[in-house]
Structure 1
Amino acid sequence: MSATADPRFSINQMTVKQLGLPELVAACVELGVQHVGTWRAPVQEYGVEAAAKLLNEAGLSVSTHCRGGFLTAIDPADRKAAIEDNKRAVDEAVTLGTDVLVLVSGGLPAGSYDLAGARERIADALTELAPYAAENGVRLAIEPLHPMYAADRCVVSTLAQALDIAERFPAHQVGVCVDTYHIWWDDRAPEQIARAGAQGRIATFQLADWTTPLPEGVLNGRGQIGDGSIDMRYWRRLVEDQGYSGPIEVELFNDGLWARDGREVLAETAARFTEHAC
């Protein structure tokens, strides 16, 4: 591999989860990748402080830390545990040197049909989490997920819903994550990107393509950019027209990619970014 990666390109750790952190760092350095989006489980497994040291010494910046959230529980003990876990996620982000913690808000609690109530509990949890994060220099980024995930993973399905929650808090505390995979279908998304941009709430921008047929279980159906239906340049232009100038993460959950050599997948992803998103 040669040093060819675009300076805005960030590789989310889940895209090449078959690579251990040292292998990922070495491959990024060889390819000239400057940014990595980290995930809690592999970072915790390696050791948060050790991971921060490894990334820093390699000259890599952490674009985001994933993920906080899952804040929809009804039981008071479960809600308290979720808030404490999110505070630990904030602390991890601080150690890693990133100022963005992505939130996947959580699905419906077992036996509940109350979407509005679940969304309200997210806002309630943020009244404690958002000030804590901001005091530590971290902004929370609410990520809307495609509606097919509303039941079990995320009751926030659109940018409009994410902004309705975020706007209860100062922009430096709570922003949104714009992910092409989750919003490309929504004809209101462009106006909501403008709404977010006007308030300075675009905290991070992620890319993944929509390919069909979706795999069984759908969770690991994010396609390699350029393989599906999404016009990456269009969405990048919308986000950048609203002032976003930070790293652009490619975050792919894809069993086929995970079965391949991770270094080859990283090189391919960086090349696809240049081909389809620049």
Structure 2
Amino acid sequence: MTPPPQPQPPAAPADFSINQMTVKQLALPELVAACADFGIRGVGLWREPVREYGVEAAAKLVRDAGLTVTTLCRGGFLTAAEPAERARALADNRAAVDEAAALGTDTLVLVCGGLPPGDRDLPAARARVGTALAELAPYAAARGVRLAVEPLHPMYAADRSVVSTLAQALALAAPFPAERVGVCVDTYHLWWDDTVPDALVRAGAAGRLHAFQLADWTTPLPHGALTGRGRLGDGAVDFPRWRRLMAAAGYAGPVEVELFNEELWAQDGREVLAETVRRYAEVCGPHAC
């Protein structure tokens, strides 16, 4: 039987980066090979599959392929109030910093964590994130790694992140030098917020725009809401506007496409990757902006 034809590699734009979670069905060597075939220069990695493969082995694999690791996801979950849990979280984040440094990326994305069980005090939980950053920022800086606080959509405030807006993320970053703590801007989480343009200007002026991720917002949301990120162009997000806003704020770095989507994970990973690059060029290329 003749094998089915493989998708033709599109020409990946120079600033395009694929987040590993978008095509998590591809093992790391398969992802690296597909990036080489498609001319993709950047990849955002996740700790769990990297650890499974081996951090040093993963670092060699991407380095030998000429890939840039644009971010490592994720550190964070820093809201615990109980001392032993806080100590475990800090230790895990120091390990994440070490992994980022080994992989050669300068950016560790932080998902800050939700409310501890039985806790309803959002401001106090958010303040504990700031306390944790004070402990982690010097450790990360000594290893050449920046911490990028990622605000998540408010629907995740209870269980995943008490940091819901770019303004809140910038307030947490403000006590630290920009080269130590900045923000990760993700369209899926921030597309709805009309205060974002002014916050982006402030973030850019302060040098705190450390990462930029894309996903579309489609409805209805699936059960659980975590794995419902839409493919670029399928939903409500105005990507050309976001590209203009980020450029005006001074961001000129890589742009990761990060999709959590059960339907995409059930498909052929190379086909998903090819389609993701095509859509990126269509909705985010120079002609679109």
> Is TM more than 0.5 here?
yes
1:100 Cα deviation (Å)? Answer: 0.2
Q: How many residues get paired?
A: 278
Matched, 1:191 2:211: no
Matched, 1:254 2:261: yes
Q: What secondary structure sits across from 1:140 in the alignment?
A: strand
TM-score (norm 2): 0.95
Q: What secondary structure sits across from 2:256 in the alignment?
A: strand
The question of whether the paired residues in 1 share the 8 Å contact of 2:10 and 2:277 is answered with no
Q: What secondary structure sits across from 1:83 in the alignment?
A: helix
CA distance in 2, matches of 1:64, 1:2: 24
Matched, 1:111 2:118: yes
CA distance in 1, matches of 2:279, 2:10: 15
1:241 Cα deviation (Å)? Answer: 1.1
Q: What secondary structure sits across from 1:225 in the alignment?
A: coil
**Structure 2, gaps ≥5 residues long:** 1-7
Q: CA RMSD in A?
A: 0.6
Determine which of 127, 148, 159 is the counterpart of 2:155.
148
Matched, 1:30 2:37: yes
The question of whether the paired residues in 1 share the 8 Å contact of 2:70 and 2:254 is answered with yes
Matched, 1:266 2:273: yes
Residue correspondence of structure 1 range 39-188 to structure 2 within 5 A: 39-188=46-195
| 1:226 corresponding residue in structure 2 | 233
1:2 Cα deviation (Å)? Answer: 2.8
Determine which of 17, 20, 32 is the counterpart of 1:13.
20
**Structure 1, gaps ≥5 residues long:** none
CA distance in 1, matches of 2:192, 2:259: 18
Q: What secondary structure sits across from 2:70 in the alignment?
A: strand
CA distance in 2, matches of 1:156, 1:112: 15
Q: What secondary structure sits across from 1:216 in the alignment?
A: coil
CA distance in 2, matches of 1:2, 1:229: 28
| 2:5 corresponding residue in structure 1 | none
Tell me the amino acid that sits aligned with residue 158 of structure 1: T
Q: What secondary structure sits across from 1:260 in the alignment?
A: coil
TM-score (norm 1): 0.99
CA distance in 1, matches of 2:83, 2:21: 31
CA distance in 2, matches of 1:132, 1:240: 30
1:129 Cα deviation (Å)? Answer: 0.1
Residues 51-90 of structure 1: per-residue CA shift (max 9 Å, x gap): 0000010110000000000000011010011001000000
Query: What is the aligned-residue identity percentage?
Result: 67
1:3 Cα deviation (Å)? Answer: 5.2
Q: What secondary structure sits across from 2:69 in the alignment?
A: strand
Q: What secondary structure sits across from 2:235 in the alignment?
A: coil
Determine which of 207, 220, 225 is the counterpart of 1:200.
207
Residue correspondence of structure 1 range 238-253 to structure 2 within 5 A: 238-253=245-260
1:170 Cα deviation (Å)? Answer: 0.9
CA distance in 1, matches of 2:14, 2:100: 22
CA distance in 2, matches of 1:119, 1:236: 29
